[in-house]
Amino acid sequence: MEGPNKGGYWPSWSANRFSPEDIDTSFLTHVYFAFLSPNEPTFQFEIDGPTDKLLRRFTTSLNRRNPLVKTLLSIGGGKSDKIMFARMASSQGSRRSCIHYIIQVARKYYFDGLDFDWEYPQT
């Protein structure tokens, strides 16, 4: 029987002080890249050059260090636009569009899974 899952969020905004290579994966089974958010009205992700490099470094360095650790892409977070998430969730078409783009990003950067972090939904 395997032990319990142990996960932690890596705050991408701290990359200058605490890089993905600094994460000690020996204590973790799952590491979450925090955070990306889609844009309205298409719910696509605008990933600039530095973010592209950071996403690649995150999955590559963690998998190189510990191939068993699972990397997850966290969408949203506490500072994300709650109204945007409500609009996204309001129709089947917008949900489908957002899911499509999330999967594209997750596959492009070799994430093992997703974490949809919509905090405090009200509608």
pLDDT digit string (tens) for 1-54? 367 899 999 999 999 999 999 999 999 999 999 999 998 888 999 999 999 999
Choices 3.20.20.80, 3.30.300.30, 3.90.420.10, 3.40.50.300: CATH for 7-117: 3.20.20.80
Catalytic residues: 119
Q: How far apart are CA 111 and CA 88, in angstroms?
A: 22
Pick the range with the lowest mean pLDDT from 6-10, 93-97, 118-122.
118-122
Q: What is the pLDDT of residue 1?
A: 36
CA distance 61 to 51: 15
Higher pLDDT, 41 or 108: 108
Q: Which amino acid is at 53?
A: K
Torsional class of 67: left (φ above 0), alpha (ψ -120 to 50), beta (otherwise): alpha
Both tokens assigned to 5: 């899952």
Query: Which tens digits make up the pLDDT trace of 41-80?
Result: 889 999 999 999 999 999 999 999 999 999 999 998 888 8
Picking from 59, 5, 60, 63, the residue whose alpha carbon sits closest to that of residue 30 is 5
- The residue ranges of every structural domain in the chain are 7-117
